[in-house]
Structure 1
Amino acid sequence: MNTTADDFDPIPSTRHRVPVTVGALKQAEQEADALAVPVASGTEPPDELGTDAAGLASAGFSGTRGQTLVQTRSGGPVRVAVGTGVPDQIDVTLVRDLAAEFARAVPWHKRLAIEVPSRATGISAGDFAQAVTEGVLLARWRYFVGQGADTPQLESLLVVASDEDAAEVAAGVERGRIIAEACSLGRDLANCPATTLSAVRMAEVAVEVGARTGLQVEVFDKDQLIEMGCGGLLGVNRGSVEPPRMIRLRYEPAEPTGRIALVGKGIMYDSGGISLKPSDESHAQMKNDMTGAAAVLASMTALQALGCTTAVTGYLMCTDNMPSGSAMKLGDVLRMRNGTTVEVLNTDAEGRLVMADALALATEEPVDAIVDIATLTGACLRTFGVEIAGVMGNNSAVVEQLRQAGDLVDEPVWELPLHRSYRTQLDSSIADLTNMGGINAGSITAGLFLEEFVDGRPWAHVDIAGTAQLPAPRTWRNKGASGFGTKLLIEFARAFAVPADDSRQVVAR
């Protein structure tokens, strides 16, 4: 049967919430199928493993970072010794990864427990609990529409803590659950078949999840977009039978400590338009070309629950990019929201066109920083591969806050220069600029294009073309469309500090 718009639920992870609780070791021994026990190198293991360091060493386990040892038992849960390395070198990235490896090491067990060490580990018990919750829940996430799709991959997670640490651990577990559920939503959307998740359906999802997460949601249809002069989004949509949607999300805390705008590229399927993409492999991944919009929506669903004090406005620019008799042609000129005219030299450079309208809209309201996120350029994939996103911007403080957020949540970004002498590559003889530069430095010229629409506001651009699709699972990361950016944006918004005036412009390079 062909996929139709009603075939699949685009956000199945929101229908099944895994119970995550905090309890004692005795409860884990009675209820869990598998129990993870952290063991630091150079120390004696906890008593619940039933052996000492010499016994573990005889099995080749020394507690170094990343080691695991599964111990089966005739009664009670399977024990999994998890090596955490030197105690004072433990960080949240390691803990998250090890929790995920534990969840993958026992795939047939659905009631998991993991212990928070009572001895000092270099991070707080709350941060440890948050990391293990994220790691387990994300490692067990899946988007599957075949037989057995309704069978849960995880029935429960119990985080074992001492009475002394229980309250702090419970708070960490709750933070981890909120973030993991937001990430799962982003992954759901990025993996959903494109025919099922049209721009219209994306708007319906935003209304649904926004209503229960404290967001104001406005949806703008084609007639409204025409009235608003959003020529970039309308131009890309010309080849499609599906109407476009712009979705504006607002999160407004009681006393905002800053204001940011997030812009997400929402190309629901990118064929390339008239500039058709060359291969089946490329086309098969293009349902994920809305990962930027998915990350903005998913991240904003977590802000209220996490007590974020930054006011956030999100723009999701949604359409597919298809070839047809009415499609945008090479040489066409589009007029954007801010009046800038753009000569289209490649219809497969469409993401920057739809985001230009949103960037211009973002400058029309008070804002301390603007961040856009997009699967924008193959050049970024070739530069950084699939584990690091590119970032560039006109403001060093905003770029640095994104870098720090990425390092903390393990969605790393690396800065590329906005080398402004390359701006001449975007010159047009008939319009204000073109949508394509030369054959080299494609990520940078795309960033220079976007900068034309931010009116000097502090701004950064995150290019996730490489990180949006993974060839194989790794720790808490999934194979396929990754939903990269959700955790990055959550942490950026949560920790945002208004840039000082002296950091507002990066020195031209």
Structure 2
Amino acid sequence: MTKITINPTWNNQLHTDGYAVFVPQDEKEISKSLSFLHKDELATLVSEIKHEKFQGKLGELFSFPLWMSKPGRRIILVGIGPQKDITDETLRKAAGLATRAASKAGVGTLAFRVAAYLPNNETAKDVVPDIVEGILLSQYSFKKYKSENENNVVSLQRAVLCHENKREVLGLERAVELGEMYVQGAMQASDLVNEPSSHITPEVLVSHAQEISLRHKQISCSVLDEKELKKKGFGCILGVARGSDEPPYLIHLSYTPKMPSKKKVFLVGKGITFDSGGISIKPADSMENMKMDMAGGAAVLGVFSQIATLSPKIEVHGIIAACENMPSGTAIKPGDVLTAYNKKTVEVLNTDAEGRLVLADACAYAVDHKADMIIDLATLTGACIVALGPDIAGLFGTDQSLLGKIKTAADDAGEKMWQLPLEQSYEKLMKSDIADFRNISAIRAVGGGAITGALFIKNFIGETPWAHIDIAGPAWAIEQREYTEKGATGFGVRTLLRFLKEL
């Protein structure tokens, strides 16, 4: 991973191979941003900028060689748009674009001026984690099974974050560490999701959880295997797993703060390591990426991989319902009835609506363990992608204060979420004629599948404050973006770490 250092100066004599300069959409400000350069370089660069019609528009890139101070040196300008519109995400994206441009040009060390332009009411310390995220996430790629480097791109070896205010520089080291922590958690989750399902089975998820607990004294891990799940009545998880040769598990990670805390937050992740749809089998092209159906569980593991470093003041639990959803002679069939952990019964009318079944057991288990709040993450519904597109998670819940805190953390992380309603009039659509509930809506043609999926889970929450995050879209990127790679994104990890930090 790129080494990131702090420097209290910004001039044309830095010992780096290049400069990354964020410039707003303002001709005067562009000139001001470049005033540190040698006058001959500046004159040539300004002329070239005009010739190329670079204006500092959001996401605009301009790369040019410098020659006065060091051979092979390069300056990379990244447009950040109008000053009034600058956000944390603007700077995160700019850092990602600059880093990728530097790597493509063979630049090994790159200097960033971190506080030339800031969002309203923010300081350098506030934006440094965002810039660090942009730098590091933009270089993430999962090439484990590639026989050679296709693009011959050289990773950035060192990034120098420059800030001339010496009083503030001392606090920036911690800000860098925060950014690195957010990234490491997201990358760990992404690695798990990107792996083939043949390599990430429920048992492998158990091993990862146990490894995390062994590294940190404040984290413990308990696991319920198939025998214990049967004994304790986890009928929904066992039902989903029935068609697979891979045994199911319920993973329970616990973080205990140094000072005793009365609050307990439960993070619950859907851990379907492969989802064929079961007997209600998916079409072939809908099954290609279904190794990513455990992205919610991976996010919980990503959070716990960093939680001891974050050191929140409250007790945090991570629950992962891990199994496969496969068709076979032993698989559950449409029309079967399962008994959940809380003794409620569910008529399974579509075996491809399995995520809500395992979450029902996992959330009921969290309630039974006296959770003060529950946050679940799941690649739950294609309907959420229809409603919000591939980049935005659906946010549901019963406690507006909790939802507001999650949304604030998500906005800071640049992970887009939008609150959707838990429409009470739709609850009757999830009532069964022969059991307490059905796992799909009685009238599928009317739509609202993301809402009815959330309403189903709500039946297993009781009165506990609860948030449900449907990450079906943003957990998997269909193309490269400013600082994210195609494939797994680790969505939710950076939001939840920020959320826990503020509790």
**TM-score, scaled to structure 2:** 0.89
**Aligned counterparts of 1:197 and 1:160: Cα–Cα separation in 2:** 41
Q: How far 1:274 sits from its partner (Å)? A: 0.4
Q: How far 1:421 sits from its partner (Å)? A: 1.7
Alignment match of 2:101 (pick from 99, 105, 113):
105
Partner of 1:189: 192
Partner of 1:148: 148
- Which sections of structure 1, spanning at least 5 residues, go unmatched? 1-16, 497-509
Indicate conservation of the 8 Å contact 1:129/1:173, yes or no.
yes
* Alignment of structure 1 residues 123-272 onto 2, 5 Å: 123-144=122-143, 145-148=145-148, 153-162=155-164, 164=166, 165-213=168-216, 214-255=218-259, 256=261, 258-272=263-277
Counterparts in 2 of 1:162 and 1:356: CA distance versus 1, 3 Å:
same
* Alignment of structure 1 residues 82-121 onto 2, 5 Å: 82-87=78-83, 89-108=85-104, 109=106, 111-117=108-114, 119=116, 121=118
Q: How far 1:31 sits from its partner (Å)? A: 5.4
Partner of 2:42: 51
Indicate conservation of the 8 Å contact 2:102/2:156, yes or no.
no
Identical-residue share of aligned pairs (%): 34
Range with greater deviation from structure 2 (347-356 or 152-161): 152-161
Q: What SS class does the counterpart of residue 264 from structure 1 fall into?
A: strand
Alignment match of 1:488 (pick from 492, 495, 503):
495
Alignment match of 2:296 (pick from 270, 273, 292):
292
Counterparts in 2 of 1:406 and 1:83: CA distance versus 1, 3 Å:
same
Q: How far 1:483 sits from its partner (Å)? A: 2.1
Counterpart of 1:113, as a letter, is L
Partner of 1:457: 464
Counterparts in 2 of 1:185 and 1:27: CA distance versus 1, 3 Å:
farther
**Aligned counterparts of 1:76 and 1:160: Cα–Cα separation in 2:** 21
Q: Count matched residues.
A: 479
Range with greater deviation from structure 2 (106-115 or 454-463): 106-115
Indicate conservation of the 8 Å contact 2:22/2:94, yes or no.
no
Alignment match of 1:67 (pick from 60, 79, 92):
60
Q: Deviations over 1:358-402 (max 9, x none)?
A: 111111223221111100011101110111111111111122222
**Aligned counterparts of 1:23 and 1:457: Cα–Cα separation in 2:** 47
Alignment match of 1:360 (pick from 360, 364, 367):
364
RMSD (Å), alpha carbons: 2.4
Q: How far 1:251 sits from its partner (Å)? A: 1.5
**Aligned counterparts of 2:404 and 2:365: Cα–Cα separation in 1:** 24
Q: How far 1:234 sits from its partner (Å)? A: 0.8
Counterparts in 2 of 1:453 and 1:92: CA distance versus 1, 3 Å:
same
Partner of 1:19: 3
Indicate conservation of the 8 Å contact 2:415/2:495, yes or no.
yes
Q: How far 1:300 sits from its partner (Å)? A: 2.5
Partner of 1:305: 309
**Aligned counterparts of 1:409 and 1:321: Cα–Cα separation in 2:** 32
Partner of 1:471: 478
Range with greater deviation from structure 2 (404-413 or 344-353): 404-413
Q: Deviations over 1:284-339 (max 9, x none)?
A: 11000000011111123222322322321110111110001111111111111111
Counterpart of 1:73, as a letter, is L
**Aligned counterparts of 1:366 and 1:127: Cα–Cα separation in 2:** 35
**Aligned counterparts of 1:118 and 1:329: Cα–Cα separation in 2:** 59
Counterpart of 2:492, as a letter, is G
Q: How far 1:133 sits from its partner (Å)? A: 0.8
**Aligned counterparts of 1:28 and 1:228: Cα–Cα separation in 2:** 67
Counterparts in 2 of 1:335 and 1:260: CA distance versus 1, 3 Å:
same
Q: What SS class does the counterpart of residue 302 from structure 1 fall into?
A: helix
**Aligned counterparts of 2:87 and 2:109: Cα–Cα separation in 1:** 22
Partner of 2:383: 379
Q: Deviations over 1:92-138 (max 9, x none)?
A: 11100000111222333362423234556343112232111100110
Counterpart of 1:347, as a letter, is T
Alignment match of 2:350 (pick from 320, 343, 346):
346
Counterpart of 2:207, as a letter, is E
